[in-house]
Structure 1
Amino acid sequence: MKIALVHLRHAYSGGVELYLNQMARYLAEQGEDVTIICRSHDEKPPHPAVKFVKLRGFSIGKTHRLWRFAKAVEKHVKESNYDLVYGLAHAWTHDVLRIGAGTSLHMSRSLNRPMRFKDRINNIIESRAMAPGAYYQVISNSHKSAAEIQEAHNVPSDKITVIHNFVDTKRFDAKRTQSEADVLKQKLGVNDGIPVFLFLGTGYERKGLKQALTAYSKLPFEAHLLVVGRETHEADYIKFAKEIGVSERCQFLGADNRPELYFTLADCYMLPTLYEPFGFTVIEALACGTPAITTENCGAKEVLSPQVATVIDSDVNPDELLTAMIEWADKKRTTNVSKACRDLSLTMDVEVVLKKNYQELLKIYNMKKAANA
């Protein structure tokens, strides 16, 4: 089967990009003819047999770029002979569409702001991508996200398949990473028996760093907070940490492509997010044996249990977050919670979940064949 996967950007960072790479790799290993249609890509393909088609036309600014890419995909697919086109975002030409990043409407709502011009263009692209007749099936990574696309774009419930995200349990494994994590812990100066809380991600406003810092400032005992990730406005958060008196106990470490080391060395992972269709990092933390705190706004809540995580209310109240932080501060060191975390993550291993995705694609391919017979 000749399969095209469509996404504006191929890279090795970001949740949708992670799915793109793993799905392309898995499909190629099944013997499928795989092409990634994108505007830009990393030099290294996810599998030696995976090909790239780069559609990089002239554009003015990021918003115009989105529209031009969607139009270019439409033209390219019409001129090609793919058996199945699998859209991941930023286009409206596909047989099956996976919603991995939620909707522009719900993103804006979560941040309590009006839709910007870029958001409105994204919303138009989404509307065309999920218009009647534009797809055979939509795959969502959470029931939360499925409900949102029903609300925003009137996608019928029988046209939505929910398949939760996966975790690479070989990469995210404390047994494999412990020695490196211990070295990093020593280097960071947090190897002193005091609880280590971790915030890791890109987009600090949406993922609730301000609320995390506020809760951290109220802890009744000493603890470390590590902030890892890429953020354009990082200086604003460093300033805020100083204003509330935690800058001496909080390390802003920037982007790091070794998240598994941080998940391994931490005592608790925090994702107090305002909006997260799923949240790969939550189950990556669990795979490393680290309990998590997240919110009702996070799709990953659907796979969690109280034995390994706390899910606080959607308003992300710092006092509620504080209570959860106190609860989890020493459990990794004093209980067998790490085993419970690891056991849960194994049910979402990447190979198990990708097999489900592949079976769904085969089903949709047969639907397309029957419709065109």
Structure 2
Amino acid sequence: MKITLLRLKSSKFGGAEVYLSRLSDELKKRNFEFEVIHCNAPKFLSSWLKIIWYNIEVCLFKDNKFYFSLERIICPDIYRAGDGVHKTFLKIENKSKLNPLHFVYLFIEKRMFNKAKKIIAISNMVKRNIIEEYKVPSEKIEVIYNGIPLKEKVSFDDIKKEFNINNEKTLLYVGSGFKRKGVKEALEIISKLEGEFKFFVVGKEKNIEWYKSYAKELNIENKVIFTGPRGDVDKFYSMADIFIFPTKYEPFGNVILEALNFENVVFTTEMCGGGEILPEEWIIDENVVNKIQELLDDKEKLEKLKKQAKEISKNYSIEKNVDETIKVINEVIN
């Protein structure tokens, strides 16, 4: 049966958009017949209207199509909950439900989780959120962790030259949407560390000047480098020793896998689904500053944990993810 993959936006950025591209490539290699449908709404429409448009567009003309959706729609056969649970997100962020976008998401989400024949949660945290918020039976939800194309380190000499890096240890954050993903908290951690190091913040943020001012206020402006969005992120991962991601809510976070794959020791919160695959001591707690400081001071231990990070990543290839995803697709089709 032909599979129809759904995602509202077509983009090179964004976790779900990148995953869709990787899934499509893998399905192509395996000679699966599939199509991808993005939203045809006029660009001038606001986000919440585009979501309604897209739901009408795909659900009204579904016919006998088999929908594997990466987007919140009310008529999926399989829904991959890569964006997490909006109801949980609103509670954590304490956002107003008066915003029409949130109202639309909540309206669709409730119907979507009930309608889907199977739900793929990208972490146990997301599975718990779905069950807690919508009372969906546990057996309807399969947990399939994200997967990435596993790579080897790349040369980063040009990056070192560009940012005048010598032999300092390098810490890294990658991601857009600094508030939710904890850049303020990361800067506070950095401000308590001693020694020679640089902290790179890579990603797009409309309020980036506030974060630069905050780094100055914390007296760490000489240690922090805001690069903005970059197309050569693999070079930063390859150069870095430690990855810091103090997110408030992240369903999984491909950046976790990417950082591990390039031998970064990763520190994230228990509100990050990707944290489930990490050793317990890598979860951010009140001792995180001491843990990171120890690694900055102990080269041997740092190198050992970097090798451990690489080994963890080997269990999360895109090929393994697609194998498990195809198994769920076949179960639903048959």
**TM tier, smaller:** over 0.9
SS in 1 for 2:89: helix
Distance of 1:282 and 1:241 partners within structure 2? 24
The 1:241/1:342 distance shift into structure 2, 3 A limit, reads same
Higher RCO structure, 1 or 2 (CA under 8 Å, sep 6+): 2
The 1:342/1:332 distance shift into structure 2, 3 A limit, reads farther
SS in 1 for 2:264: coil
- What's the TM-score, normalizing by structure 1? 0.84
The answer for the alignment partner of 1:118 in structure 2 is: 101
1:286-325 alignment, distance < 5 Å: 286-306=260-280, 310-313=282-285, 320-325=287-292
How far off its partner does 1:57 sit? 5.2
Paired residue total? 332
CA deviation string 1:212-268 (max 9, x = no partner): 111111212232111100112112211211222222221110001222111110110
CA deviation string 1:10-59 (max 9, x = no partner): 222111112111112212222222111112xxxxxxxxxxxxxxx32587
1:213-362 alignment, distance < 5 Å: 213-306=187-280, 310-313=282-285, 320-329=287-296, 335-362=303-330
AA of the residue aligned to 2:221: S
1:97 to 72, 79, 83: 79
1:109-148 alignment, distance < 5 Å: 109-115=91-97, 116-131=99-114, 134-148=115-129
How far off its partner does 1:169 sit? 0.6
SS in 1 for 2:172: strand
Query: Unaligned 5+ residue runs, structure 1?
Result: 40-54, 314-318, 367-373
Query: Unaligned 5+ residue runs, structure 2?
Result: none
Distance of 1:337 and 1:330 partners within structure 2? 13
1:154 to 135, 144, 151: 135
Distance of 1:332 and 1:305 partners within structure 2? 19
The 1:29/1:331 distance shift into structure 2, 3 A limit, reads farther
Distance of 1:26 and 1:254 partners within structure 2? 31
The 1:59/1:74 distance shift into structure 2, 3 A limit, reads farther
How far off its partner does 1:161 sit? 0.4
SS in 2 for 1:130: helix
1:184 to 159, 170, 188: 159
The answer for the alignment partner of 1:67 in structure 2 is: 52
SS in 2 for 1:247: coil
1:43-54 alignment, distance < 5 Å: none
The 1:57/1:154 distance shift into structure 2, 3 A limit, reads farther
Distance of 1:245 and 1:291 partners within structure 2? 25
Distance of 1:185 and 1:360 partners within structure 2? 44
Instruction: Note if contact 1:229-1:253 (Cα within 8 Å) is conserved in structure 2.
Output: yes
How far off its partner does 1:123 sit? 1.4
Instruction: Note if contact 1:269-1:285 (Cα within 8 Å) is conserved in structure 2.
Output: yes
Distance of 1:72 and 1:266 partners within structure 2? 44
Instruction: Note if contact 2:241-2:263 (Cα within 8 Å) is conserved in structure 1.
Output: no
The answer for the alignment partner of 1:169 in structure 2 is: 150
How far off its partner does 1:98 sit? 0.6
